[in-house]
Amino acid sequence: MSRKKKGSNNQRRGGNRNSKKDEYRSDLLAKSDMNNERFAAYYQAQNILPQEEWDSFMDALRTPLPTTFRVAGSRQTANSLNATIKDVHVPALNDVVFEDQKIPPPVQIPWYPDGLAWQFNVPKKVLRKSPEFKKFHSFLVFETEVGNVSRQEAVSMLPPLFLDVEPHHKVMDMCAAPGSKTAQLLEALHAQDTLTASSIPSGLLLANDSDYKRTHLLIHQSARLPSPALMVTNLDASNYPSIKVPAGNNSRMEQLLFDRILCDVPCSGDGTIRKNLNIWKTWQPNDGNGLHGLQLRILQRAMKLLKPDGRIAYSTCSLNPVENEAVIASVLLSNPEFYLVDVSSRLPELKRRPGLKTWRPTSDRTVKTTYETYEAFVANNPQAASTKLTPGHWPPANVEELNLDRCMRIYPHHQDSGGFFVAVLERKALAGQVKEKKRAAGSPVPIPGAKKPRLAEPAESSAPTPKEEITSAAATPDENLPTPSEVTQEPSTTEQSFKEMPYTFLSAQDPTLLLCINRLHLTKDFPSSNMLVRNPEGDVVRSMYLTNDIIKSVIQNNDFTKIRLTAAGTKVFTKQEGGKGSEAQYRILGEGLPVVLPYVDPVNILQANMSALKTFVEAHYPLLTSFEEPFKTILEGLELGCHVVNFPPGEIDGASLTHELLLPIWKSGVSVSLMVDKKAKNALSLRVFGKETSPPKQREKKDRESDAPMVDVDEDVKGAPDDEEDEEMRGGAEQIVVAAL
Ligand SMILES: C[S@@+](CC[C@H](N)C(=O)[O-])C[C@H]1O[C@@H](n2cnc3c(N)ncnc32)[C@H](O)[C@@H]1O
């Protein structure tokens, strides 16, 4: 393969950290090298498209994928930021001409609800050099950092949309990392959030991934929408243990079953070939063949965890029927209480093709031959038994009865997207459960490698006693982790020993908790019995987390020395050492404020204005004397510690705040500071005042350091990756403190 000249971008972005990815960047691989005879022969044999579409399909695969993003966050927040994109940014990009060429502005993806997803196709050079696009690009970068924008492939946004999640649903995301779809599910659970305050959903989202490092990436990502209803586990989804919860009001325990389950399974990922150019070089049919068994086991397990009338979305970013229709056909055969849902009238603007009813697997790397039936394959391959191919890789005899045409295939040339597959399955009402039990003993399709799932034991045994408290968001995402499409290994969760901290609920009378509630002026209805800490002694050492009732019940009734629980609830309070001479106190974390806000006594919320906001944003530790009256006197009269400030909409010097903003501050002796991390502050400054904040001046820093809080406000932000290329892998700032304006 010939390569075009290497750009200098790689060096600029920090040496060769991304060398593996950059090697295959679209501007480094000539179109003429985007060929793979095996790929073409295989998909021609599968008849995935009418012959007349083949050339446009292949052409689309050879063109770079447009940039797509989703306006994230709870509904009101997202709608508000979306209006800014539509009414401010897009008009400014409407008439951009670059090197004599008109550059098209971003457009809304037509099928995405409420126009919240966008797409644009602009060369990097334009993003760097056109002042209008440069400004828009900075806006996107900052909003992504604070979690208001999610750079996500358009097709990857699809599966959660078919689940219709509601705030009371119990939802499971079986293969969740790095978490772009988890975020969508969380947003749906939090549909009732307002611009400034978070709701506490009665349902839950259990997000799981078998890769430990990627689980922490997931935790990092989902901290963009802090939720007391989120739990993260690190387990093999194909063998996921049953979770116990009390049955109604009596003391009997029953298995927790889910209303909605997402199975976005590991796959060969050839639908991502437009951005993962190495697939051109490496593709061969056994990639998909080898994953079929794991995909099947994960989906089978999901089916056992689903409530009657519940719904599953199964998805892959692969075009291979062996990973798609073959998996669906096999599970339908062994679970007759399930059926494929006809979703053809949903998202009417989405161009899709029905699922296949015939396909021809092969284990021949060169794809010289493919086989219509398993029997034909065995007859022609003496080594058949040593391949990963099973009868379940082929269409079953009753394929016509399964409605496989209800599956959705998304092809790149139809709407300039990646390739994708989604199937929506529902479980029939209760009578089906009886059938399921009868069938379980002799399911017609053997599932390669299937194990009996473990049952969670009652929470009797004590948790391990690690030395230090670990905050759930402390992981540093690893940029060299494989992208989802590259995950082709059988999972192993046993590689790392299980060192998670225990989860201990505080007594509502815990003296430190009570002190904290008093100092922060929280109302009596604050759910103090749902506060947990994570350290072996169960004492308040540093941070306190809030969960909803169902997460509390799950934690209290299951043995988490056996279920690898890596996060639960959301961190709301953390200890703040005082400056010189003042005692330590607890403060509301920026990310926790929306959750705590409904319980902050309104009389204790300080009222500020645009001038105060400007002072807070321009300096890092502004002196009390730098504020205008009457806010200056209000600040001077405050006790030291954490307070909440309300900035109502307003204008100053041409800058405007269009929605109310509530932020935590910390008052020290002579200065006061916003308790938001640098990135959030930058995004706020850019949005309201049109400029970034400046780094602290040496002088300013020196003058105030004796007065400033001992812990920097950035203490909770660790290791956000800075690779803008890979949106699925991209983490964001951990604190979502600034709602969209
Ligand atoms: C396609 S990716 C998921 C992408 C994710 N849903 C998102 O939207 O960000 C597949 C994920 O499955 C995980 N995985 C692989 N084998 C697994 C297993 N046996 N159990 C659970 N997760 C598994 C991988 O670590 C990977 O993160």
Nearest to 326 by CA among 361, 371, 352, 287: 361
DSSP reduced 3-state for 451: coil
pLDDT in tens, 256-300: 999 999 999 999 999 999 999 999 999 999 999 999 999 999 999
ipTM attached to this prediction? 1.00
* pLDDT at residue number 448: 52
Q: Distance from the CA of 178 to the center of ligand 1, in angstroms?
A: 8
Q: Distance from the CA of 285 to the center of ligand 1, in angstroms?
A: 21
Stretches in the chain below the pLDDT threshold 70: 1-28, 431-499, 578-583, 694-741
Q: What are phi and psi of 278, to 5 degrees?
A: -65, -20
* pLDDT at residue number 484: 34
Nearest to 274 by CA among 63, 473, 550, 534: 63
* CB neighbour burial string for 389-410, b if at least 16 within 10 angstroms, e if fewer: bbebbbbbeebeebbbbbbbbb
Please indicate whether residue 177, judged by its CB atom, sits closer than 6 Å to ligand 1: yes
Q: Give the closest residue (by CA) to ligand 1 atom 10.
A: 266
* pLDDT at residue number 712: 31
Q: Is 248 assigned a ligand-binding role in the annotation?
A: no
Q: Rounded to 5 degrees, what angle do the CA atoms 395, 397, 403 make? A: 70
Can you tell me the distance from the alpha carbon of 534 to that of 545, in angstroms, rounded to the nearest whole number? 8
* pLDDT at residue number 327: 98
Cα distances (angstroms) measured from residue 206 to each of 28, 147, 185, 237: 40, 20, 10, 12
pLDDT in tens, 669-707: 899 999 988 888 888 888 888 887 766 554 445 444 444
Can you tell me the distance from the alpha carbon of 147 to that of 153, in angstroms, rounded to the nearest whole number? 16
Which neighbouring-strand residues pair with 103?
Answer: none
Residue 601, CA atoms < 13 Å, CB-side half-sphere: 10
Instruction: Give the tokens for residue 327.
Output: 């998996």
> How many other C-beta atoms are found inside a 10 Å radius of the C-beta of residue 317?
27
* pLDDT at residue number 737: 29
Q: Are 735 and 72 in contact (CB under 8 A)?
A: no
Give the residue numbers marked as catalytic: 317
Predicted model pTM: 0.84
* pLDDT at residue number 431: 62
Please indicate whether residue 234, judged by its CB atom, sits closer than 6 Å to ligand 1: no
Q: Distance from the CA of 487 to the center of ligand 1, in angstroms?
A: 8
DSSP strand E in 648-706: where?
A: 650-652, 655-657, 661-667, 672-674
Q: Distance from the CA of 481 to the center of ligand 1, in angstroms?
A: 12
Instruction: Give the tokens for residue 712.
Output: 């920097």
Q: Is 677 assigned a ligand-binding role in the annotation?
A: no
Best mutation site among 270, 487, 493 for ligand 1 pocket (most ligand atoms within 8 Å of CB)? 487
Best mutation site among 210, 315, 421, 481 for ligand 1 pocket (most ligand atoms within 8 Å of CB)? 210
Instruction: Give the tokens for residue 18.
Output: 């991304």
Can you tell me the distance from the alpha carbon of 314 to that of 289, in angstroms, rounded to the nearest whole number? 17
Please indicate whether residue 502, judged by its CB atom, sits closer than 6 Å to ligand 1: no
Instruction: Give the tokens for residue 294.
Output: 């794991």
Please indicate whether residue 300, judged by its CB atom, sits closer than 6 Å to ligand 1: no
Please indicate whether residue 264, judged by its CB atom, sits closer than 6 Å to ligand 1: yes
* Ligand 1 atom at shortest distance from the alpha carbon of 297: 19
Can you tell me the distance from the alpha carbon of 571 to that of 716, in angstroms, rounded to the nearest whole number? 10
Please indicate whether residue 487, judged by its CB atom, sits closer than 6 Å to ligand 1: yes
Q: Are 537 and 568 in contact (CB under 8 A)?
A: no
Can you tell me the distance from the alpha carbon of 415 to that of 564, in angstroms, rounded to the nearest whole number? 41
* pLDDT at residue number 27: 52
Q: Is 209 assigned a ligand-binding role in the annotation?
A: yes
State the residue for tokens 């009886």.
434
* 678-689 and 131-145 helices, crossing angle to 10°: 140
Q: Is 178 assigned a ligand-binding role in the annotation?
A: yes
Please indicate whether residue 209, judged by its CB atom, sits closer than 6 Å to ligand 1: yes
Q: Are 548 and 530 in contact (CB under 8 A)?
A: yes
Best mutation site among 162, 211, 422, 486 for ligand 1 pocket (most ligand atoms within 8 Å of CB)? 211
Q: Give the closest residue (by CA) to ligand 1 atom 16.
A: 491
DSSP reduced 3-state for 28: helix
Instruction: Give the tokens for residue 451.
Output: 């194990």
* Ligand 1 atom at shortest distance from the alpha carbon of 181: 8
Can you tell me the distance from the alpha carbon of 16 to that of 10, in angstroms, rounded to the nearest whole number? 6
Instruction: Give the tokens for residue 83.
Output: 């209006």
